Amino acid sequence: MKDGIPAQQQTVSLVTQKAVPGWITFLLAVSCGLIVANLYYTQTLVGPIGHAIHLSAGATGLIVTLTQIGYVAGLLFIVPLSDIIENRRLTVMSLVLVVAALVLSVLAPNAPLFLAASLLIGLGSVAAQVLVPYASYLATEEDRGRVVGNVMSGLLLGIMFARPVASFMAGLWGWQSIFIVSAVVTALLTLLLARVLPARKPAPGLRYGQLLRSLGTLLMHTPVLRRRALYQASLFGAFSLFWTTVPLHLSSEYHLSQQGIALFALAGVGGAVAAPIAGRLADKGWTRLLTGLGISLAVLSFILAYLLRDTSNLTLGLLVLTAILLDMSVSGNLVLGQRAIYSLGNETRGRLNGLFMAIFFIGGAVGSSLGGWAYAYGGWSLTTLIGLALPVLALIYFLTEKKEHA
C-alpha cells in the first residue's frame, strides 16, 4: 500500500475477462441514460415548477443548482464507495434514493421540500457513475474503449433527450408528469438491475475515511487525471454555457416557440454519435489525435456561433450545425478521458471516476453561471466570446501534453 492506495487488484465476481455480452452493454447504456436524465428534466421546467411551489423568479435557479450540487456531492462521497462496496448493491441503494426523491418532488407542498428532493435526486443519480466504471471492469483491455463508448452514448442521449421530453410531457400533462413517469421507470430499472447484473465485489482494502482521504492523494499524484479532467471541465463549461443561453437566443431573435426549441435540442442529439466512434478509435491508439481534434471542434463551433449575426433560415441551420459540432466535441472527449483514467488501475477506478466527473461538472456549473450573466449584459456576442475562450484555453493546455500522456 502506498499513499493510502492499495496495490492489490480487485476481483470481479461471476465475471471472467471475456467480451462483454451485447445485451449487458445495451442494458448499462439504457440505464445510464435513464438515470442521468433526472438531472436535466427541470432545466426547461423551472418556470412552471417555481410558480407551483411559490418560489420567487430570482430563486428558481436553485432547482437546477441544488440538483447539480447533490450530484457533485455524490460523485465525491458515494461513487468512491464502488472501490469497497459490491457495485450492484451500491447501484440499487442509490436508485432507491432516486425513486423516493422523485415521489417527494411530486408530493412536495412547498419550496423547501421540493428543493430537498432536488438535492436527493442529484445525490442518488450518481448511480450512473457507478455503472460506467463497472462496465469497464467487465470489458477486456482490447474492448474497453468500445464498451465505455457505447455505455456513454446511452448516458449522453439521456442528457440530450431529457430537456425536450420534459417540455413535451409538461405541455400535455403538467410538469409533475415527468417525475411520475421517471419514478415508475427508475423503480422498474432498479428491480431489473438487481436481478440480472453480475456481482462485482471489490477486494478488501481501505476503510471509508481512508478512501476519502486518498482522493487528494490520487488527484495530486495522477497527472493524467488532472489533465483529462481539466480538458473536459473546459469543454463541458462551454457546452453548459451554450445550452443555457441558446434557448433564450432562439426565442428572442428567431422567435421560436417551446416546440421549436425542443426540435433544435433534438437536432443536437446527433453529436452523441461521436462517443462510440471515439471509443473504438481510442482502442487503436488514436487518443491524442482525437483529443486535439475534439477540442478544435469546440473552438470551431464557437467561432461559427459568434459569426452568426442575422436571423435567416440559413443562419438557423448553421446554428444547428454548431450545436452538433459542440456536442460531438464534448461526448467524444468524455469517452477519451474516461478510457484514459480507467486504464490507470482497477483498484482506484471508482475514485478516479468520481474525481473526474466532479471536476468537469464544476466546470459545467461555472459555464452556466457565466452564460446567464454574459447573455444578460452582453447578448449573444459576449456569450459566444466567453464560450470560445474556454476551449481555446483547453487547446493551449493540450499543446503542452507530452506524447506519453496520451
pLDDT number for residue 403? 59
Range in 174-178, 239-243, 371-375, 379-383 with the lowest mean pLDDT: 371-375
Residue range 84-104, pLDDT digits in tens: 889 999 999 999 999 999 999
What structural domains does the chain harbor? 17-205 (1.20.1250.20), 208-406 (1.20.1250.20)
pLDDT value of position 366: 80
- Is the pLDDT confidence value at 1 over 70? no
- Is the Cβ–Cβ distance between 282 and 145 less than 8 Å? yes
**3-class secondary structure, 5:** strand
- Are 236 and 364 within 8 A, CB to CB? yes
**Residues contacting 59, CB < 8 A, separation 6+:** 50, 111
Average pLDDT over residues 101-108: 96
Model pLDDT, residue 119: 94
Q: What is the pTM of this model?
A: 0.77
Confidence of residue 59 (pLDDT cuts 50, 70, 90): low
Closest CA to 349 of 257, 252, 211: 211
**Which residue has 495530486 as its cell numbers?**
220
Within a 10 A sphere around the Cβ of 193, how many other Cβ atoms?
A: 18
Cβ atoms 120, 104 nearer than 8 A? yes
Q: Between the ranges 83-92, 141-150, 179-188, 334-343, where is the mean pLDDT highest?
A: 179-188
Residue 62 has pLDDT above 80, yes or no: no
Mean pLDDT lowest among 35-49, 302-316, 382-396 = 35-49
Among residues of the chain, what percentage have pLDDT more than 70?
Answer: 91
Burial 274-307 (b: 16+ CB within 10 A, else e): bbbbbbbbbbeebbbebbebbbbbbbbbbebbbe
- The larger pLDDT score, comparing residue 364 to residue 326, is at 326
Place of cell 438557423: 316
State the Rg of the chain over Cα.
Answer: 20
* Helices (H), ranges, 125-273: 127-138, 144-173, 176-196, 208-221, 223-253, 258-268
Over pLDDT 90: what percentage of the chain? 39
